[in-house]
Amino acid sequence: MIDFLELIKYKKNNKFYNSKEINFIVQSYLNDHIDEQNMTLWLKEIYEYGMNIDETVLYTESIINSGEKIEFDSLDGYVIDKHSTGGVGDKVSLILGPILVACGCFVPMVVGRHLGHTGGTLDKLESIPGYNGLINLDKFKKIVKKVGISIIGQTSEICPADRKIYSLRDKTNTIASLPLICGSIMSKKISEGIHGLVLDIKYGNGAFLETKKDGQRLGKLLSLIGKKFNVDVKYLGTNMNQPLGNFSGLNCEVIESIDCLKGRGADDLMDVVFELGRVACSLAKIDNSKQKMIDVINNGKAYEIFEKMVYEHGGDINRIHCNYTDCIDIKANESGSIEFIDTKKIGDAVNYINKLKGTRDNSSGAEFLKKNNDKVSKGDVILRLFSNDLNTLKLRERLVRESYIIK
């Protein structure tokens, strides 16, 4: 009989878990055989002392086995996904996914909701009228086969143990633990039945990891875990010292993504899309990838795939509007150039105004009119905050104004 309280002490005593012990921890919590209080003690120990790579692999495997693992044997193409560690204005999945499909890949994508100050791809998709991101796995597989891409949230069929542990980590401030992050991200991705994965590891003041070096450590660990499960993983570190693209919010980010798919994307955003796309295409053995990606944007194929995916999920692309009633313009209080943007504060403000009286205000968000190093004159609008409630905007106006340093 395994004693859970003994297992909690392992890390402090420099002992390593075997597969039976890790399974016992994950399964016991999933099946309510251990309570939140004891599981929190275990999470705090891992947060404090970590786990080695072998234990992290066992933990990842145990989480995968708590749900179903998808198989895509009959697809005629490379099956790939892209994952970002989270940023502000990061809508790359909505743009790159259809582009990769138009270049010949299949993209089954399980995504998350907003976390901390970062936006969630599922929240953005669900702002499309009718879009159902919580379909069952059978339907998910059918859409991937038919359209090439389906983007869904984590349902109870995929890694249910992660869902439960993740929610406890969120409540107990134990998110920022490398082995727990790796297990959580990689279990979901490996369960998708992919051959390859491209990771966008964000670093900077709007990311969970502040430095490029921290990002590299995470990237290396995630790649190692992928290898153990026969998934080719490549990672890129990208800068999050300012919001990505022109908008952050819900409908406004979907509209911006559509603009990108129609060839009207902001340079900083398209640079990240093309860089990650290049890496993804190298995994899929697609040559001349930059030109191919530009071609599928110019000939309308990438947009058509996005439109079909939205349709298959019940969404109505013609009803996506960003009709807000109120806005506040944040203006430069002096002339000079933008020296610093506190991206995390802006992300926090956007997530705050995205919620209106407990529901989602799909038309709320922020438009970034000036970015780092841009020259401004006193009185120029640097950011526009918008929503359907002026009071909500006013409550975040100061925070956003204080996020900019002009020198």
- The CB-of-112 to ligand URA minimum distance in angstroms stands at 5
Please identify which residue in 184, 242, 257, 343 interacts with ligand URA, judged by CB under 6 A. Answer: 184
109 or 296: CB nearest ligand URA? 109
Is residue 400 within 8 A of residue 333, CB to CB? The reply is no
Residue 6 burial (CB count, 10 A): 11
User: Is there a catalytic annotation at residue 33?
Assistant: no
User: Is there a catalytic annotation at residue 403?
Assistant: no
Q: Give the list of residues 6+ apart from residue 33 with CB closer than 8 angstroms, or none.
A: 27
Is residue 164 within 8 A of residue 36, CB to CB? The reply is no
- The CB-of-223 to ligand URA minimum distance in angstroms stands at 16
Give me the half-sphere count of Cα atoms (radius 13 Å) on the Cβ side of residue 61. 18
Q: By CB neighbour count within 10 A (0-12 exposed, 13-18 middle, 19+ buried), where does 385 fall?
A: buried
96 or 400: CB nearest ligand URA? 96
- The CB-of-390 to ligand URA minimum distance in angstroms stands at 34
Which residue among 91, 117, 164, 169 is the active-site one?
Answer: 169
11 or 83: CB nearest ligand URA? 83
DSSP 11-72: TTTT----HHHHHHHHHHHHTTSS-HHHHHHHHHHHHHH---HHHHHHHHHHHHHTS-----
Alpha helices in 246-319 (DSSP H): 251-261, 267-283, 289-298, 301-312
From the list 82, 73, 65, the residue with the least C-alpha distance to 158 is 65
Query: Dihedral, CA atoms, 51, 212, 342, 387, nearest 10 degrees?
Result: -70
Which residue among 56, 60, 93, 184 is the active-site one?
Answer: 184
- Looking at 50-58, 175-183, 228-236, 316-324, which segment touches ligand URA (CB under 6 A)? 175-183
User: Is there a catalytic annotation at residue 184?
Assistant: yes
- Looking at 140-148, 177-185, 232-240, 284-292, which segment touches ligand URA (CB under 6 A)? 177-185
Q: What angle do CA 180, 183, 189 make, to 5 degrees?
A: 140
- The CB-of-60 to ligand URA minimum distance in angstroms stands at 11
Residue in the block written with tokens 């990311």: 207
Handedness of CA 223, 201, 89, 265 (dihedral sign): negative
Q: Give the list of residues 6+ apart from residue 376 with CB closer than 8 angstroms, or none.
A: 332, 335, 336, 337, 338, 370, 382, 406
d(CA 89, CA 66): 32
Which residue among 121, 238, 257, 403 is the active-site one?
Answer: 121
- The CB-of-344 to ligand URA minimum distance in angstroms stands at 15
Handedness of CA 164, 168, 173, 178 (dihedral sign): negative
Query: Does residue 185 bind ligand URA (CB under 6 A)?
Result: yes
Query: Does residue 322 bind ligand URA (CB under 6 A)?
Result: no
User: Is there a catalytic annotation at residue 81?
Assistant: yes
- The CB-of-340 to ligand URA minimum distance in angstroms stands at 26
User: Is there a catalytic annotation at residue 189?
Assistant: yes
Site string for ligand URA, 67-106 (x = CB under 6 A): ----------------------------------------
Q: What angle do CA 324, 328, 333 make, to 5 degrees?
A: 155
112 or 245: CB nearest ligand URA? 112
- The CB-of-177 to ligand URA minimum distance in angstroms stands at 8
Which residue among 83, 91, 164, 202 is the active-site one?
Answer: 83
93 or 403: CB nearest ligand URA? 93
112 or 219: CB nearest ligand URA? 112
- The CB-of-352 to ligand URA minimum distance in angstroms stands at 20
196-203/149-153 β-pairing:
unpaired
Query: Does residue 181 bind ligand URA (CB under 6 A)?
Result: yes
Please identify which residue in 97, 112, 179, 315 interacts with ligand URA, judged by CB under 6 A. Answer: 112
- Looking at 123-131, 178-186, 198-206, 277-285, which segment touches ligand URA (CB under 6 A)? 178-186
User: Is there a catalytic annotation at residue 321?
Assistant: no
User: Is there a catalytic annotation at residue 188?
Assistant: yes
SS3 243: coil
The residue whose Cβ lies closest to ligand URA is 184
Which residue among 11, 81, 93, 162 is the active-site one?
Answer: 81
As beta bridge partners, residue 347 has none
Give the residues lining the site for ligand URA (CB under 6 A): 112, 175, 180-181, 184-185
Positions annotated as catalytic residues are: 81-84, 121, 169, 184, 188-189
